[in-house]
Amino acid sequence: MCVKFRGSHVLSVAQFERGDIEAIFRIADHMEPYAQRRRATRVLEGAILGSMFFEASTRTRISFGSAFNLLGGEVRESVGMDSLSLVKGESLRDTARVLSGFSDVICMRHPVAGSVAEFASASRVPVLNGGDGSNEHPSQALLDLYTIEKELAGRGRNIDGLRIAMIGDLRYGRTVHSLARLLSLFEGIQVVLVSPPELSMPAPLVEELRAAGQRVVESDNLEASITHVDIVYSTRIQEERFPDRRQADLYRGRLRLNQAIYTQYCEPNTVIMHPLPRDSRAEANELDIDLDQNPNLAIFRQTDNGLLVRMALFALVLDVVPLVDKYACEVRWYTPG
């Protein structure tokens, strides 16, 4: 299994089979004591992660960097376009060739769909897609599915047979694109796609789900769509993909979930997810902070799980999985409370 990952780019979830997902998740499980600082490892000592984020990010950028640090590696980071020679007309391919001479692996986010793949085509080291425009966000979908697996396990269930409502901007939201693709790998999935008609899931992705035998319903009615699901997966209006703010404003705040709606319409224990950031401005507020005390709100378990999944991806593409424990070392600074 590791041979398949060794030296590979991670550009789209379409490159994975179900067995690959299982492998990533079991390695992610193994990373937990390292992520929780109960153990330390120097397995990637001397390795350098090139972290290239051409678009705003909190979770993905810092989680990739922290995951690499936790495996003993160093991070060299560039944020935004302005500090790079791309502004002097250098191509993405030349940039990739240069940076891959300095790095052992690169993670990258870019506002243009397909740009991370273009960059990867000229890179001599593995490139992990941290989000390319509205196209894909593979590591987010993996951590989302890993979270779903864990949440359902606590209820004696597995991913097969999952009922999920994906809500919000399904047109531009790359996390739901990647997650929908991953769900095609499983059995008996029921998906309710809830969005304004103008922001519906791209037809090819809906077709992919249906061709895989999954039951797909499209709706613009939030309350009617969340009554019989295991997971409510809310998303933000992706304002940065709209021609201007005014057009994004047309859709902001239309599909809001709060505790009163959850209590009235959801089954008990329905899990609430969101890739974050949630837009907490009054006019948007797609996931109200009055849900923060709800034990079924899994949004911060998602971010914690992201660290484990990204550690697993690095260990796989750099082919060090069997060595993680071998290069474990004493934790000197951390005293469990």
Residues in contact with ligand CP by CB under 6 A are 57-61, 131, 137, 140, 275-277
Nearest distance in Å: CB 133, ligand CP: 13
Catalytic residue among 9, 39, 41, 60: 60
Q: Which is nearer to ligand CP, 40 or 183 (by Cβ)?
A: 183
Determine the 3-state secondary structure of 154 from DSSP: coil
Nearest distance in Å: CB 312, ligand CP: 17
Nearest residue to 5 via CA among 249, 289, 243, 318? 318
Classify strands 163-167 and 74-79 as parallel, antiparallel or unpaired: unpaired
Nearest residue to 213 via CA among 175, 171, 183, 237? 183
Nearest distance in Å: CB 215, ligand CP: 27
Catalytic residue among 109, 110, 150, 171: 109
Nearest distance in Å: CB 22, ligand CP: 23
Residue 170 in tokens: 């399904």
Q: Between the CA of residue 275 and those of 49, 99, 106, 126, what are the distances in Å? A: 24, 29, 22, 24
Active site residue 246: no
Active site residue 60: yes
The C-alpha atoms of residue 42 and residue 31 are separated, in whole angstroms, by 13
Catalytic residue among 9, 39, 59, 171: 59
Query: Cβ of 198: how many Cβ atoms within 10 Å?
Result: 11
Q: Which is nearer to ligand CP, 214 or 234 (by Cβ)?
A: 234
Q: Which is nearer to ligand CP, 73 or 138 (by Cβ)?
A: 138
Q: Which is nearer to ligand CP, 60 or 270 (by Cβ)?
A: 60
The C-alpha atoms of residue 201 and residue 173 are separated, in whole angstroms, by 9
Nearest distance in Å: CB 160, ligand CP: 26
Q: Which is nearer to ligand CP, 265 or 314 (by Cβ)?
A: 314
Residue 17 in tokens: 């089979």
Residue whose token pair is 């959801």: 266
Q: Which residues of 81-92 are buried (b: 16+ CB within 10 A; e: fewer)?
A: eeeeeeeeeeeb
C-alpha angle with apex 222: 201 to 265, nearest 5 degrees?
140
Q: Which is nearer to ligand CP, 62 or 86 (by Cβ)?
A: 62
The C-alpha atoms of residue 285 and residue 279 are separated, in whole angstroms, by 6
Helices (H), 45-104: 59-70, 92-99
Active site residue 157: no
Nearest distance in Å: CB 162, ligand CP: 20
Active site residue 175: no
Determine the 3-state secondary structure of 108 from DSSP: strand
Q: Between the CA of residue 198 and those of 31, 71, 169, 170, 285, what are the distances in Å? A: 41, 43, 9, 9, 20
Nearest distance in Å: CB 24, ligand CP: 18
CA count, 13 A, side-chain hemisphere, 324: 26
Catalytic residue among 9, 39, 61, 137: 137
Active site residue 4: no
Q: Which is nearer to ligand CP, 63 or 270 (by Cβ)?
A: 63
Residue numbers annotated as active site: 59-60, 88, 109, 137
